[in-house]
Amino acid sequence: MKTIDHWIGGKPVEGTSGRFGPVYNPATGALEKQVAFATTDEVDTAVATAAAAFESWGRSSLATRTAILFKFRELLDAHRDEIAELISAEHGKVHSDALGEVARGLEIVELACGISEKLKGELSTQVSTRVDVASIRQPLGVVAGITPFNFPAMVPMWMFPLAIACGNTFVLKPSEKDPSASFRLAELAAEAGLPDGVLNIVQGDKVAVDRLLEHPDIAAVSFVGSTPIAKYIQLKAVEHDKRVQALGGAKNHMVVLPDADLDFAADQAINAAYGSAGERCMAVSVVVAVGDTGDELVERIAARARNLRIGPGDDPASEMGPLITREHRDKVASYVTSAARQGAEVVVDGTGHTVEGHENGFFIGVSLLDKVPVTADAYRDEIFGPVLCVVRADTYDDAIELVNSSRWGNGTAIFTRDGGAARRFQLEVQAGMVGVNVPIPVPVGYHSFGGWKDSLFGDLHIYGNDGIAFYTQGKVITTRWPDPADGGIDLGFPSHS
């Protein structure tokens, strides 16, 4: 059985713990690989290697860094199909979705390629007589990233390209469920000329995570995952004097006003709820049907949902693949069952779905729940699967109150032809990312990604300008070069004259 090892100092490093995690093919249910789990000593080795590499990388020229990043971008583009195949094989998402993931990661690499523009700094001359003040940004040192299973290539690329472009060195702990994509990214970075030790990967579980959070030589930690773990990451990282950005879970609402194009809204609800089998933090989990739109909108969504093609990710005909594990599939199914008991109408029930020839795969069909009580578990919890809840609201004000009462504030959307209503919504809604007739408002690479409330722990969002600020620290330099004619002693308080 193939073992996915660590990547330390520019090369694969075999694990020594004797502990391994299973890596399944979700479409078949077969155990195909195993991943080595790091010891604390192996984490320490990776951090020490990154610290040693920082001594030269942190002083390297912007021209050197960007030349490597441009080459890395070129290699990523050339190997995007290969990386997408790795994602499909271990995560389960269909090939087109996996390709889209790689493309969105490439956006951040392209942002990193332009880092020289972002790190220009500022200069004010003659703030006082022959006194100049400059503001610059410098790297932190060794930084770490802890990434989730649902985007095994994109989320690591949200982190390490910007971090290393800013002059830091990086230690990545990817998800143990689908580790091959990030390992391949490290190989391509080395091929692009990234010096040994600048990017390192430690595979593992909580042992590796806790050591990264505790290690005195780690300056900052980035995390994307569930809200409970994000809270844990923030508290433990801050306890050990680290800068932290921890992105948590979500329950994203899509508000549909009576004037909306219902066919368009139904199409977008399908795409946003069931794409990637609902395993994404920006998935639309709740459609809020305002006024008398509910019955007609539900009918249109249901008709589309029943015709979705579900199958293995490597089948070009598949529109949705399996879930990541058998346990997660069963948990998702339990929300549909409990929703029926708690007062929701199950319009489409996907819990018994199987795929011919892949009966052991972790497949589930799509489910559509209507008139879901806000007290139901299916509404209150982040399901992270292909389950769409529809709730009814009499007015716009009722809808905005419903959205804003959620403990999460990751993303939200409104569908309407009314510009005034859309403008009011984008100002009043309590969420970090807002779409107007856009169901999944994930920002492009040069704008930052992040939510509000229980969807973000830490002050700065990820990638974009916030990402650059997170991976650097400011320094202000005040200089005076006295004229040779100056002289004398003056004990008075300095003045700006």
Give catalytic residues, as residue numbers: 281
Q: Cα(140)–Cα(151) distance, rounded to whole angstroms?
A: 26
Q: Cα(266)–Cα(269) distance, rounded to whole angstroms?
A: 5
Closest C-alpha among 296, 235, 224 to residue 266: 296
Q: HSE of 78 in the Cβ direction (CA atoms, 13 Å)? A: 10
Q: HSE of 443 in the Cβ direction (CA atoms, 13 Å)? A: 22
Amino acid occupying residue 362: F
Q: Is 130 left (phi over 0), alpha (psi -120 to 50) or beta?
A: left
Q: Cα(165)–Cα(419) distance, rounded to whole angstroms?
A: 40
Q: Cα(431)–Cα(406) distance, rounded to whole angstroms?
A: 10
- 10 Å CB burial of residue 446 (0-12, 13-18, 19+) is middle
Closest C-alpha among 104, 388, 389 to residue 274: 388
Residues 6+ apart with CB under 8 A from 307: none
Report the sign of the C-alpha dihedral through residues 488, 493, 496, 497, in that order: negative
CB atoms within 10 A of CB 438: 16
Retrieve residue 470's tokens: 């997170």
Retrieve residue 121's tokens: 């700094």
DSSP state of 277: G
DSSP state of 252: E
What separation in angstroms does the CA of 424 have from each of 74, 110, 112, 420, 434? 43, 34, 35, 6, 12
Report the sign of the C-alpha dihedral through residues 305, 306, 311, 317, in that order: negative
Closest C-alpha among 210, 260, 264, 205 to residue 235: 210
* Residues β-bridged to residue 483: none
Task: Report residue 450 CA to chain centroid gap.
Answer: 9
Q: HSE of 244 in the Cβ direction (CA atoms, 13 Å)? A: 26
3-state secondary structure of 405: coil
